[in-house]
Chains A and B, each alone.
Chain A
Amino acid sequence: MSSRPSRIRPVRRPIINKETSEFEPCWQTIRDALVDIHKQNAGRLSFEHLYRTSYKIVLLRKGDLLYERVKEFEEEWFRDHIMPRIADLISPNLVNVAFVQPPTASAHERRHMGESFLRGIRDAWQDHNTSMNMVADILMYLDRAYTSSTKNASIYTATLGLFRDHILKNSLGTASTDREHPFLVFDILNAVMLDLINLERDGHVIDRNLLRTISSMLEDLYETDEEIEHQKLYLTVFEPRYIENSSVFYRNECEKFLRDSDASSWLRHTRRRLMEEQDRCETTISILTSDKIARVVQTDLFLSRMDEFLAMEGSGLRSMIDNDRLEDLTILYQLISQVDRTKTPLMVPLQSRVMELGLEIEQTLKNTDFSVPATGAGAEGEDGDAAEKGKSQTLTAAAQQTAAAIKWVDDVLQLKDKFDNFWANCFDKDIMIQSAITKSFSDFINMFPRSSEFVSLFIDDNLKRGIRGKTEAEVDVVLDKAIVLLRYLTDRDLFERYYQKHLARRLLHGKSEIHTEKEMVLRMKSEMGKIFTSKFEGMFKDMELSKDLTDKYRDHISSLGDVDTKKIDLNISLLTTNNWPPEVMGRNVNQEEGTKLECTYPSGIKRLQESFFKYYLKDRSGRVITWVGSAGSADIKCVFPKVPGKESGPLSKERRYELHVSTYGMIVLLLFNDLGDGETLSFEEIQAQTNIPHVDLTRTLASLSIAPKARVLLKNPTTKNIKPTDTFSFNSQFVSRTIKIKAPIISSLSKVEGDDERKETEKKNDQTRAHVVDAAIVRIMKQRKQLSHTQLTTEVITQLAGRFKPDVSLIKKRIEDLLVREYLERVEGESAYKYLA
């Protein structure tokens, strides 16, 4: 450091000289200073002097003695100066308030006494704390050189701890021992605090800051001088009592609400209490308690009787849902999600309410349906033959049933809207709740056996209405909703079948706008996949090709200059067999009657058909065209001659009308062209000449001879039903106000299926399902070679989930069938199968 040789100066030790080397005089200095500090006279003391004095004591190795003397001094100070004042505050009345329940004193009195007691404690504590800070400062060297080398707590901690031992845990001598159970100051302190808080809960105003100060005092004091974090007196003594007291309070309050109030105010009250308690932790006691007290309110006020509140007539969950009480539901959701992550207490009743309301829709439907077909059934009864029931009656009944179907969908959608609204506005778009609601919707929709059909009918109705002046946007909204419902359906194959049928009718009869149709199918495609919509798309394609073909054929004919066929304008719908429903394709009839039936077309038409077929085969050889009479329609210009003998009125003139009828209708009417005046044809004669299937003929004749607007044929007898024995004649007196007349075409109306039809559809669907399951099994086995029965069943169900939910029994049956057909073989000794290539 320094090259200069120098002697180190010895330390001069004025510190350890005779006058100041004794402990007692030094202690006396310190002791006097302690008194001054307590009396808040520190201003006249020299810190340096006191520090130096304690410094010397420590250097004299008397630190331990100093440490003990300071503590003794403080204990004495408490005994002589502090306790008497506190004991004065603890009047017998205060003790009664603390230990006699229910308290006999008035609220005002209790508050007054309690608060002055707390103030006494607070003042004592604050004085002590300030003094001890100063003492710790002057004894700094003691901590540094003595305490830290022993196991003792720092002088500050030790003297602070004295407050706990000599004030709070003071048993007050006779005041307490006179009583049955001796108590400590601390017990009174707790009781007073709890009493004040309960007063506040009951609406009184209390000194929050005072309580807050006392609480932080309890947070600053520990069970021992080791000051272990979780052993704060606040946590070990006050908080448990507070929690218990609150629990009792809220249990009582809950009972009171259950007795006197309703679920709605209970919910609001619970929410308010939770906020109050939160606030209380922040302003009055300690934030340490906020979670615990929240749990108390949740448990004792909310959860304990929740089921009873939610079941309350007129205000419970059911009423909240039915009356759209959004706020109630919001609070309920918020409260429940605080207590239960699974939200089961909300979800379960919510789900069952969805189910109930869903089944209610079905029930209402049944009840409305009941009265409507009742009249139809009566008419049927007379007849005894369902197939031959009156056409007009069938129509109205069917129309009303269709209306019912649409009502069902509308109602379901409305219900869905309702719950979507809850979900978005009350349930914070909770994913778990969404899937729970979705599941319930799906459940009740699939419990309703006709949901697939009804959904398709609903779409049918809306697409047809699209033409009738609904705006595109409106249709859009409805279609979106239809897709939503579609998502719920498990039997999608059944829906596909119905939709195909309804779509076919709309397309063939031009009932809807093609771009809306395509839009709809596009949506289905994105929802259900390509395979689901392939047939629908095929149908669109057929329609486009047909239009093209019709135009080309027309050009072709006009280029030939064929005068003969000019009179008949042909519009072709060329349909690919697989894409279209069998009913439309007429295959249905063929199967039933067992023979290949084709009706006899009049020669004019036949020529036209041949001409078209010839044209068609020019470019495509080896194709076959089947003419489906049941699906087409025709516009016929008819002339009704002047009725002889009538000189005035419409009958006196010749009338020309344009009649729109089904293809069959046209064939039938053409028969009457060749008939003389007054001649008649019987049902059987017509059938023999045309070869139109019985059922279709009945319908056709009904549309031409019964419906008043298009009664161009007269029927004898003039009943409302068609019987095989009826005869028909040309109605020469037919009059209509409009030139264009539409004979009702029964097949163009999408209506609810009758029970027989429905069974038929389901039977067919089951057949298809069998094939689909077969294919799935073979596909899986081909890949996996060998699988156990359970594994195979699971795989099949997974594969088909997008289309429908196959019965386990069906799968089993199909496996058996495949075993017989030797696609599979059993693995011996196991319940497993092997694939046979």
Chain B
Amino acid sequence: MDTNGDSAASGKYITLVSRDGWEFVVLREATMISPTIKGMLRGQFAEAKTGRCTFPEISGVILEKVVEYFQFWYKNQDKEDVSDMDIPVELCLELLVAADYFGLDKQY
């Protein structure tokens, strides 16, 4: 998918910002698993222009786990028999909500 709509946003990395101010610099391609971020970056919206996405309702703890998942998916997308990612039980409800928000439900 062509994500390079704008010169400012065509960088290899994008920045994800949490409610509490944590910033995560992620490989753009790794975030493409999320249709939400994908849509965010392909149109002509502010995020696409700046390459910076702010999520005012997601905490740094959760966003970190989400980013971890992006990387995990990116590294292992073509492999078989990959062991599951470690999910702390206490975060799982919040993560489910975040997964829904990021559209991570129907991918694999």
A11 touches B97 (CB 8 A): yes
In the complex, chain A residues whose CB is within 8 Å of the CB of B49: 43
A47 touches B39 (CB 8 A): yes
Asked if B45 CB lies within 8 Å of chain A CBs, one says yes
How far apart sit A45 and B47, CA to CA, in the bound complex (Å)? 8
A380 to chain B, nearest CB (A): 100
Asked if B53 CB lies within 8 Å of chain A CBs, one says yes
B43 touches A51 (CB 8 A): no
Asked if A552 CB lies within 8 Å of chain B CBs, one says no
Asked if A158 CB lies within 8 Å of chain B CBs, one says no
How far apart sit A51 and B38, CA to CA, in the bound complex (Å)? 12
B89 touches A144 (CB 8 A): no
A55 touches B101 (CB 8 A): yes
A51 touches B40 (CB 8 A): yes
Q: Which of A619-651 contact B (CB under 8 A)?
A: none
How far apart sit A6 and B92, CA to CA, in the bound complex (Å)? 11
In the complex, chain A residues whose CB is within 8 Å of the CB of B106: 144
**Which of B35, B44, B88 contacts A134, CB < 8 Å?**
B44
**Which of B46, B86, B97 contacts A43, CB < 8 Å?**
B46
Of chain A, the residue at the smallest CB distance from B55 is A48
In the complex, chain B residues whose CB is within 8 Å of the CB of A9: 90-91, 93-94
How far apart sit A41 and B46, CA to CA, in the bound complex (Å)? 10
A61 to chain B, nearest CB (A): 15
A42 touches B44 (CB 8 A): yes
Q: Which of B44-80 contact A (CB under 8 A)?
A: 44-49, 53-57
Per the CB 8 Å criterion, the residue count for chain B at the interface is: 30
In the complex, chain A residues whose CB is within 8 Å of the CB of B39: 47, 51, 137-138, 140
B89 touches A133 (CB 8 A): no
B45 touches A45 (CB 8 A): yes
In the complex, chain A residues whose CB is within 8 Å of the CB of B87: 1
A57 to chain B, nearest CB (A): 14
Of chain B, the residue at the smallest CB distance from A20 is B57
In the complex, chain A residues whose CB is within 8 Å of the CB of B97: 11
In the complex, chain B residues whose CB is within 8 Å of the CB of A42: 43-45
Asked if A821 CB lies within 8 Å of chain B CBs, one says no
**Which of A1, A11, A140 contacts B89, CB < 8 Å?**
A1
In the complex, chain B residues whose CB is within 8 Å of the CB of A133: 43
A140 touches B36 (CB 8 A): yes
B47 touches A134 (CB 8 A): no
Of chain B, the residue at the smallest CB distance from A7 is B90
B47 touches A47 (CB 8 A): yes
A683 to chain B, nearest CB (A): 114
A53 to chain B, nearest CB (A): 11
B104 to chain A, nearest CB (A): 11
Q: Which of A21-42 contact B (CB under 8 A)?
A: 40, 42
Interface 0/1 of A127-138, CB less than 8 Å to B: 000000110011
B89 touches A2 (CB 8 A): yes
**Which of B35, B45, B54, B89 contacts A8, CB < 8 Å?**
B89
With contacts A6-B90, A8-B89 taken as known, whether A48 is within 8 angstroms of B54 at the C-beta atoms is yes
B57 touches A134 (CB 8 A): no
A487 to chain B, nearest CB (A): 66
With contacts A11-B93, A11-B94 taken as known, whether A46 is within 8 angstroms of B88 at the C-beta atoms is no
B94 to chain A, nearest CB (A): 5
How far apart sit A137 and B47, CA to CA, in the bound complex (Å)? 13
How far apart sit A12 and B20, CA to CA, in the bound complex (Å)? 14
Interface 0/1 of A586-613, CB less than 8 Å to B: 0000000000000000000000000000
Of chain A, the residue at the smallest CB distance from B97 is A11
Asked if A720 CB lies within 8 Å of chain B CBs, one says no
With contacts A11-B97, A14-B57, A144-B103 taken as known, whether A47 is within 8 angstroms of B89 at the C-beta atoms is no
B101 touches A48 (CB 8 A): no
B93 touches A43 (CB 8 A): no
**Which of B35, B40, B90 contacts A47, CB < 8 Å?**
B40
Interface 0/1 of A54-67, CB less than 8 Å to B: 01000000000000
A48 touches B44 (CB 8 A): no
In the complex, chain A residues whose CB is within 8 Å of the CB of B90: 6-9
A43 touches B54 (CB 8 A): no
How far apart sit A10 and B59, CA to CA, in the bound complex (Å)? 13
In the complex, chain B residues whose CB is within 8 Å of the CB of A134: 43-45
In the complex, chain B residues whose CB is within 8 Å of the CB of A10: 93
In the complex, chain B residues whose CB is within 8 Å of the CB of A2: 88-89
Of chain B, the residue at the smallest CB distance from A55 is B101
Of chain A, the residue at the smallest CB distance from B92 is A8
How far apart sit A296 and B35, CA to CA, in the bound complex (Å)? 47
In the complex, chain A residues whose CB is within 8 Å of the CB of B46: 43-47
How far apart sit A344 and B51, CA to CA, in the bound complex (Å)? 69
Asked if A15 CB lies within 8 Å of chain B CBs, one says yes
Of chain B, the residue at the smallest CB distance from A5 is B89
B34 to chain A, nearest CB (A): 10
In the complex, chain A residues whose CB is within 8 Å of the CB of B40: 47-48, 51, 137
In the complex, chain B residues whose CB is within 8 Å of the CB of A141: 36, 103
In the complex, chain B residues whose CB is within 8 Å of the CB of A7: 90
In the complex, chain A residues whose CB is within 8 Å of the CB of B86: 1
A17 to chain B, nearest CB (A): 10
**Which of B47, B92, B93, B101 contacts A46, CB < 8 Å?**
B47
In the complex, chain B residues whose CB is within 8 Å of the CB of A52: 56-57
How far apart sit A45 and B87, CA to CA, in the bound complex (Å)? 34
A51 touches B36 (CB 8 A): yes
In the complex, chain B residues whose CB is within 8 Å of the CB of A50: 45
How far apart sit A55 and B91, CA to CA, in the bound complex (Å)? 22
How far apart sit A10 and B48, CA to CA, in the bound complex (Å)? 33
How far apart sit A140 and B48, CA to CA, in the bound complex (Å)? 16
Q: Which of A332-348 contact B (CB under 8 A)?
A: none
Of chain B, the residue at the smallest CB distance from A33 is B45
Of chain A, the residue at the smallest CB distance from B86 is A1
Q: Which of B12-53 contact A (CB under 8 A)?
A: 35-36, 39-40, 42-49, 53
B43 touches A47 (CB 8 A): yes
Interface centre among B36, B86, B88, B106 (most CB of A within 10 A): B36
Return 25 A-B CB contacts under 8 Å, by A number. Answer: A1-B89, A6-B89, A8-B89, A8-B93, A9-B93, A10-B93, A11-B97, A12-B94, A14-B57, A15-B57, A40-B44, A43-B45, A43-B46, A45-B45, A46-B46, A47-B40, A47-B45, A50-B45, A133-B43, A134-B45, A138-B39, A138-B43, A140-B39, A141-B103, A144-B103
Which B residues are closer than 8 A to A by beta carbons?
Answer: 35-36, 39-40, 42-49, 53-57, 86-94, 97, 101, 103, 106
15 additional A-B pairs beyond A8-B92, A47-B48, A141-B103, beta carbons within 8 Å, are A8-B90, A9-B94, A10-B93, A11-B93, A11-B94, A40-B44, A42-B45, A43-B45, A45-B46, A46-B47, A51-B39, A137-B40, A137-B43, A138-B39, A138-B45
Per CB-CB distance, the 4 closest pairs between chain A and chain B, nearest first, are: A137-B39, A47-B45, A47-B40, A42-B44
